[in-house]
């Protein structure tokens, strides 16, 4: 393909493949645990990290990764005080992240264009260092999810029974939240902070329509995400579209197709 003749598109495709794998791996656990909004909360915090990185003169992706990790800790910490109101901790983190991001953006004069690339996604802004970070985080998340597969499966469907069975639920929940934070931070470059949560959730929603087991749901959601990313990046290149929007619209089309297949062919 013509677009692969360009170095920045090679980087975008590679980053898209990594993101297309790890987002649904994380997303399926979030959906089954009714935590779909956690991606949005951490995306706002990660955006504040990006703004801080631009103001401080450090790599914005790395700064977003650090801030997202802090946000993950904040969510788990606040959850201790609002156990009966789980969504309240997410709302507080969203408010904190967004307000801090606005303040830092206002301090960093001349950085608006770069911030917008993180807000909406950009296939031309990926640097070689960004690729190293994305690849390292992708490998880490994929390996950790594989190692914790059985425990996460158990916790998804019965957290109390998992605790009785001796699974360290609290530690795994904190560990998993940090994995979500890492995934959100590195995915922002491709789909943007506003849409990163959608790439975690929409492919999983499509897989739920077609899958008959947890394992098949994982496989289908990863496949849908990868197809969405590849088609979205291609459309963004040839039609000069925002990559994040193109990716998510493709995944929504595939979701509609899955619902149609479920409705009329099963």
Question: What are the domain boundaries of the chain?
Answer: 2-261
Distance, in Å, from the CA atom of 228 to the CA atom of 224, rounded to the nearest integer, reads: 6
List the CATH code of the domain at 2-261.
1.10.3470.10
Closest among 223, 246, 26 to 123, alpha carbons compared: 246
Compute CA distances 37 → 75, 126, 168, whole Å. 12, 26, 24
Distance, in Å, from the CA atom of 142 to the CA atom of 22, rounded to the nearest integer, reads: 6
pLDDT in tens, 74-125: 888 887 787 777 678 888 888 998 899 888 888 876 666 677 778 777 777 7
Using the 8-state DSSP alphabet, how is residue 100 labeled?
A: H
Q: Which helix (H) or strand (E) holds 238?
A: helix 214-239
pLDDT at position 114 is 72
Distance, in Å, from the CA atom of 178 to the CA atom of 70, rounded to the nearest integer, reads: 9
Compute CA distances 56 → 51, 117, 126, whole Å. 9, 18, 19
- Contact of 52 with 59, CB cutoff 8 Å: no
Distance, in Å, from the CA atom of 52 to the CA atom of 10, rounded to the nearest integer, reads: 28
pLDDT in tens, 205-227: 999 999 888 889 999 999 999 99
pLDDT at position 154 is 85
Parts of the chain with a pLDDT under 70: 1, 86, 109-113, 266
């Amino acid at each position: 393909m013509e677009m692969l003749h360009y170095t920045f598109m090679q980087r975008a495709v590679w980053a898209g493949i990594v993101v297309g794998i790890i987002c649904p791996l994380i997303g399926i656990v979030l959906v089954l645990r009714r935590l779909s909004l956690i991606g949005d909360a951490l995306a706002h915090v990660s955006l504040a990290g990006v703004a801080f990185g631009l103001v401080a003169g450090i790599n914005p992706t790395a700064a977003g990764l650090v801030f997202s990790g802090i946000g993950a800790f904040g969510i788990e910490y606040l959850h201790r005080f609002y156990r009966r109101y789980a969504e309240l901790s997410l709302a507080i983190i969203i408010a904190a992240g967004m307000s801090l991001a606005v303040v830092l953006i206002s301090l960093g004069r001349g950085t608006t264009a770069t911030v917008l690339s993180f807000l909406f996604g950009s296939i031309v802004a990926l640097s070689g260092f960004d690729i190293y970070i994305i690849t390292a985080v992708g490998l880490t998340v994929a390996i950790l999810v594989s190692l914790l597969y059985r425990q996460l499966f158990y916790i998804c469907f019965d957290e109390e029974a998992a605790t009785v069975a001796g699974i360290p639920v609290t530690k795994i929940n904190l560990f998993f939240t940090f994995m979500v934070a890492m995934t959100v931070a590195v995915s922002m470059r491709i789909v943007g902070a506003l849409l990163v949560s959608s790439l975690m959730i929409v492919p999983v929603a499509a897989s739920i329509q077609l899958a008959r087991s947890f394992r098949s749901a994982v496989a289908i959601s990863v496949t849908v995400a990868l197809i969405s990313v590849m088609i979205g990046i291609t459309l963004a290149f040839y039609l000069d579209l925002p990559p994040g929007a193109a990716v998510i619209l493709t995944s929504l089309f595939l979701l509609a197709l899955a619902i149609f297949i479920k409705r009329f062919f099963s």
